[in-house]
Amino acid sequence: MTGTLALVGGAAWTEGCSFDAELLRVSGGDRVVVIPTAAAYEQPRAVVETATAWFGQLGASVEAVWALRRSDALAPGVADPVRDARFVYISGGSPMHLRSVLKDTPLWDAIVDCWHRGGVVAASGEAAAVLCTHMVDNRGGAFTVGLDLLDRIVVVDGLVGAQLFGEYSLDITATGASVSSSVSAWSGPACSRRAYGPAPRAAFAPPPRPWPAPSPT
């Protein structure tokens, strides 16, 4: 059993994010656990305050998990708020920092378990890329490994990134994250997709070759 996995294009918790009301309804709860890890160096408390005000208008409370460093994500009890959560929202920010903090930790295991229990897991902007099996290293544009929650999807930042990945002929569908409020949500046993808001800036299916042929030597 899986719940709903929502990849939000960006501009989380702002005007235009009407889909948050639907995600809250689908979750069946009235509490949202916010993970501001990716925003560790970008005023994470302000991020949580924005989320609190936004979801407050929707009749939900917000609880933050302050795992800003890897040692935080490994600390005893840090994952407790997630273990009974129905809606977990991972804020945008630094994708590489988010991956390094969450990978192989009890906190990440609890987030995955929330999804498998039928809950909602949402990630905004750059954080959405980290949930995928493959992601972009934003320090140089090369492929690297993500957290492997959603396979056969790559989230790239706009059209330029999509054109770049078109050269690799990977058998992966790519969805462009935009700076506008849009979301693609996968839910149910068949992982059916539903889109909310404006279309992503780039979406394509590369040619069905698993990997470029090696150059002759």
Give, as one character, the DSSP assignment of residue 180. Answer: S
Confidence grade of residue 8 (pLDDT, cut at 50, 70, 90)? confident
Distance (Å, whole) CA 47 – CA 44 = 5
For residue 135, what is the enclosing H or E element? Answer: strand 134-136
Count of alpha carbons within 13 Å of 6, Cβ hemisphere only?
31
- Domain ranges, ordered by start, for the chain: 4-204
Model confidence pLDDT, tens digit, residues 54-94: 999 999 999 999 999 999 999 999 999 999 999 999 999 99
Model confidence pLDDT, tens digit, residues 112-168: 999 999 999 999 888 888 988 888 787 777 788 899 887 767 777 553 344 444 443
Q: What is the pLDDT of residue 30?
A: 97
What lies within 8 Å, CB to CB, of 57 at 6+ separation is none
**Class of 4-204 per CATH?**
alpha beta
What pTM was estimated for this model as a whole? 0.78
- 168 or 111, which is more confident: 111
